[in-house]
Structure formats: structure tokens, C-alpha cells
Amino acid sequence: MKVVPFVAETAYQAVEKIREELGPQAVVLNVRRLPAEGLSRLWRKPAIEVLACLPDGRNGREDRLDELKRELGEIKRELPGIRNNGGGVRGQTIAQSGYSSGWRIGMMLENTGMLPVHIQNIVDRLHALHGPTRPEPVGRELHLAGALLEDLWPRRLQFGTETDSRIHLLIGAPGVGKSTCLCKWLAKSVLIDGQKAMLWRLDGAAANVAEPVSVYGEILGVPVMRSWRGYALEDENEIGFIDLPGWNWNKSDAVSELSSLIQTWGNPRLHLVLNGAYDIHLQLAQVRAFSGLPLSGIIVTHMDEESRWGKLWNLVLGTNYTLEYISAGQNIPGDFFRPTPELILRRQFGLK
Ligand SMILES: Nc1nc2c(ncn2[C@@H]2O[C@H](COP(=O)(O)OP(=O)(O)OP(=O)(O)O)[C@@H](O)[C@H]2O)c(=O)[nH]1
Ligand SMILES: [Mg+2]
């Protein structure tokens, strides 16, 4: 059996090449993306390599054609999906393909994690502002897209809540990094901003076993309470934090149960914590699940483990919530900062 490798940019090109050279009886053995190299990886779609062959024991042209069709169907499914996120997340519609023609920025944004629906919007706006002919060199294209994204960055913090509480409750799925963020925020408040702090480590649906949170509070000289007995911060310089175990957001009624619990805690300010290294569709599903609560904004963790910082734009452009903080790493105080469009763009494109 002779195995022949085919390299093509798209599944369709691969089909044509295989048909041309091996005829309709060819069978696909393997498909893989070829890693792109050099700076062009930012805008080039990764090529795909298809290994095909003509089987020795030929047992019917029809069967082999069916097999080829099935295998090629799998190749197509491996191409970047254009999905409809729908639900509580802002204005998601299925994008029309074609942003990769002409301007290179569409593919650059896709390679850094932005969803096609937002890329299409950016490319349409660039075409409307600067015409369909892309500028040379590529750095200019990057600059124009960056300027547009900076313009789309929400100018004011979008607090989706009426509360003016200075007690902050971090909520989210289990293990996303809530307690770590809380400790980072607490350390920043006490050590850098010189604030007086209070800390509650409360039980949720499960017992809160995050002992390190209490230890950290004690190290900083912050009173740590294990139950809620009602409290109002009176001093302007005072800040409070509630640590809660992860919430099983997939369970029906889970979020309304959480809502009832929170109401007994004096209407704190709610921050949804997401693991930024998770698949963006999972992150958006979590935003949707918790969107029934009056969220103040979103905190994204684990950005030390994620190189595709363009994913963050899906939260900025695709939800109604402010991206309040980014957290990167397990160490406390460590990296915990307010994101800016410039900073995201720099990290997204690996610029200094
Ligand atoms: N690499 C990396 N690890 C992190 C980050 N944030 C938290 N972790 C680690 O992730 C694990 C879970 O972090 P926690 O802060 O306990 O997560 P949690 O959301 O409070 O977990 P539950 O309370 O059990 O739901 C720990 O091992 C942390 O050290 C981060 O930004 N980067
Ligand atoms: Mg925790």
C-alpha cells in the first residue's frame, strides 16, 4: 500500500488534490494540522496534511467512495467551527466566512483565540473605514485593528448591580481560582492600598474547606469569620470579602439556590470568576448560567497558562459585563491587575 501525503490549506483543496492524483478510490489514513512557523503564523491559516492511499484489497468502488466521503467529512469538522452561542451572552450570530480574504487580520485574530462572530465584525468595520484593500505591511493592519478594538473597549465600568456594598463575593464553578483571587485582592487592599479588611469564609452547598484563606487572613491581620451574623462596613476605608466554595452551575436550580443564599448576606457585590485557560464556549456557558444574578463583573484567572489572550475579547465584546481583573499564577500576591485593551493586545500578539 503506497501512502501519499497531501498538504493543502483547506479540506476542499485536499479533496481535489487527492481525487486528481489517486482517483475516487483513495482512502484517507490520517489528518493533522501542520504547525505554522515564523511571524506569518499570526495571519496564515495552519495548513493541513492528509495521508491518503489506494487500498490493496479493492472491494467495491462504491464502498471506498463512501469511506472517502466519511473521512473528508471528518476533515471538514476539524476546521475551525463557526458557532452560535446564543443565550444570555450578548448578540451572538453565526458569522459569514470570508474574513480571511484580503486582510490578514481575520486569521491573526482567529489564531489568538477570538471567535469568528467578533472577527467578522472587526473585519467589516475595517473594510468600511479603510476599504477592502489591505495595507502593507502587516504591522499597519495590526495597528488599525488594535485601534478599533481599543475603541470598542467599554469606556465605563458596567456594574450590573444596584448594590453599593464594599463587601465582595467571588462566585463561580469549582476550582476556577476564586480563593486564590480573593487572597490576591485582599493582599493588594491591605498591603498596597492600606485598607482595613474583613473576611468571611462561608459554607455553600458544600463545606468551605479552604483553610489557606483563613491562614492568609490571619497573616495579614484580618479578622476571619466562619459564619455570617450580619455586618455593615462603616469606615469608608474598609473592604470586605466573602469566600465561598465552587458552585455546581450545571445543576438545575443551582443558581437560584445561590441567589437565595446570597440575599441573606446583605447584598454583597458579586464577581464571577472564570478560568481563562478553559475553552471559550465553556466560559460563555458559565457566564450564561450565572447571568441570572446581579453580577458586578468578571474576573479571569489562569492567564499564565493561556497564550491565546485574544480569547479575552470574546468576554469583552460578547457579554454585558466588565472585565474587572486578570489573575495569572498561583502565587499570592502575584499577578492580579485591571486589564486594559493595550495590555491585552500586547500579550495577544506577543509584543513587548
Ligand atoms: N496556574 C494557575 N493556577 C491557579 C491560578 N489560580 C488558582 N490556581 C490554582 O488552582 C487551584 C484551585 O484554586 P482555588 O483558588 O482554590 O480555586 P477555587 O475556585 O477557590 O476552588 P473551590 O473553592 O474548590 O471551588 C489551586 O491549586 C490554585 O493554586 C492561576 O491563575 N494560575
Ligand atoms: Mg475556594
Rounded Cα–Cα distance for residues 282 and 289 (Å): 10
> What's the pLDDT at 186?
96
Average pLDDT value over all residues in the chain = 83
- Band (pLDDT 50/70/90 cuts) for residue 63 is low
Ligand 1 atom with minimal separation from the 176 CA? 19
- If asked whether residues 187 and 145 sit together in one domain, one would say no
Spatial distance between the Cα atoms of 114 and 347, rounded to a whole number of angstroms: 13
Check whether 15 has a pLDDT greater than 90: no
Q: Which of 87-101, 233-247, 254-268 has the least mean pLDDT?
A: 87-101
Among the candidates 16, 46, 78, a domain finishes at: 78
Is 253 inside a domain boundary?
A: yes
Residue type, 144: L
pLDDT at res. 61: 54
Show the domain range for 31.
3-78
Q: How far is the CA of 214 from the centre of ligand 2 (A)?
A: 11
Residue 24 or residue 283, greater confidence: 283
How much is the pLDDT for 94? 34
Does 282 score more than 70 pLDDT?
yes
Task: Using the mean position of ligand 1's atoms as its centre, give its distance from the Cα of residue 300 in Å.
Answer: 11
pLDDT surpasses 60 at 79: no
Which amino acid residue places its CA nearest to atom 23 of ligand 1? Answer: 245
pLDDT value, residue 101: 59
End-to-end CA distance of the chain: 51
Q: Does residue 328 line the site of ligand 1, with CB under 6 A?
A: yes
CB 100 within 8 A of CB 107: yes
Q: What is the pLDDT of residue 306?
A: 95
Q: The domain spanning residue 190 has which CATH number?
A: 3.40.50.300
Number of domains, the chain = 3
Domain for residue 162, yes or no?
no
Residue 295: name the closest of 152, 167, 206, 170 by CA: 170
Please write the tens of the pLDDT for every residue from 323-339.
Answer: 999 999 999 888 999 99
C-alpha–C-alpha distance, residues 168 and 270, integer Å: 6
pLDDT score of 93:
38
pLDDT at site 267: 86
What per-residue confidence (pLDDT) applies to 39? Answer: 66
Rounded to the nearest angstrom, the distance between the alpha carbon of 275 and the centre of ligand 1 is: 9
Strands 295-301 and 269-275: parallel
Counting Cβ atoms within 10 Å, is residue 66 exposed (0-12), middle (13-18) or buried (19+)?
exposed
Q: Is 329 in the pocket of ligand 1 (CB under 6 A)?
A: yes
Structural element, H or E, at residue 315 = helix 312-318
Res 92 pLDDT > 70: no
Asked whether residue 72 falls in the same domain as residue 127, the answer is no
Nearest Cα neighbor of 98 from 78, 114, 82, 74 is: 82
- Tell me, in angstroms, the distance from the centre of ligand 2 to residue 302's CA: 14
pLDDT at position 136 is 85
- In a shared domain, residues 50 and 87: no
| Strand stretches in the chain, DSSP E | 3-8, 27-33, 48-53, 167-171, 196-201, 224-225, 238-243, 269-275, 295-301, 323-328, 335-337
Residue reference for cell 454583597: 268
pLDDT per position as a tens digit, 214-246: 999 999 999 999 999 988 777 888 999 999 999
pLDDT at 95 over 50: no
**Mutation pick for ligand 1 pocket among 171, 180, 306 (CB with most ligand atoms within 8 Å):** 180
Beta partners for 275? Answer: 301
Residues 133 and 26 grouped into a single domain: no
- Say if residue 266 is in the same domain as residue 236: yes
Q: Does ligand 1 lie within 6 Å of residue 118's CB atom?
A: no
Q: Are residues 31 and 131 in the same domain?
A: no
Asked whether residue 159 is domain-assigned, the answer is no
Query: What pLDDT shows up at residue 83?
Result: 31
Q: Indicate whether 91 and 62 sit together in one domain.
A: no
Taking the whole predicted model, whether its pTM rises above 0.85 is answered as no
What does the alpha-carbon distance between residue 320 and residue 298 come to, in Å, rounded to a whole number? 10
Residue 103 region by backbone torsions, left for phi larger than 0, else alpha for psi between -120 and 50, else beta: beta
Average pLDDT of span 90-94: 40
Residues 87 and 72 occupy one common structural domain: no
Alpha helix positions (H), 116-245 = 116-130, 138-152, 178-187, 211-219
In this structure, are 176 and 257 located in the same domain?
Answer: yes
Does 191 lie in the same domain as 59? no
> Which uninterrupted H or E stretch holds 76?
helix 61-78
pLDDT over 60 (residue 84):
no
Q: Pick the last residue of a domain from 99, 128, 152.
A: 152
Last residue of a domain, one of 152, 183, 200: 152
Q: Whose CA is nearest to atom 31 of ligand 1?
A: 302
Q: Which is more confident, 95 or 136?
A: 136
* For range 8-36, the mean pLDDT: 75
Task: Report the alpha-carbon distance of residue 235 to residue 318 in Å, rounded.
Answer: 37
Instruction: Let me know if residue 309 belongs to a domain.
Output: yes
Which atom of ligand 1 is nearest the CA belonging to 305? Answer: 1
Residues facing 4 on adjacent strands = 52
- pLDDT at site 157: 54
Pair 70, 90 in one domain: no
Give ion ligand 2 contacts, CB < 5 A. 178-179, 210
Query: In 3D, which of 217, 235, 214 has the Cα closest to residue 226?
Result: 214
Instruction: Pull the grid cell for residue 288.
Output: 450564561
Average pLDDT rounded to a whole number, residues 103-114: 92
Same domain, residue pair 203 and 145: no
In a domain, 161, yes or no: no
pLDDT at 54: 75
Task: Tell me the average pLDDT across 112-131.
Answer: 91
Residue with cell 450590573: 160
Q: Quick check: 172 pLDDT over 70?
A: yes
Q: What is the mean pLDDT of residues 42-61?
A: 68
CB 159 within 8 A of CB 261: no
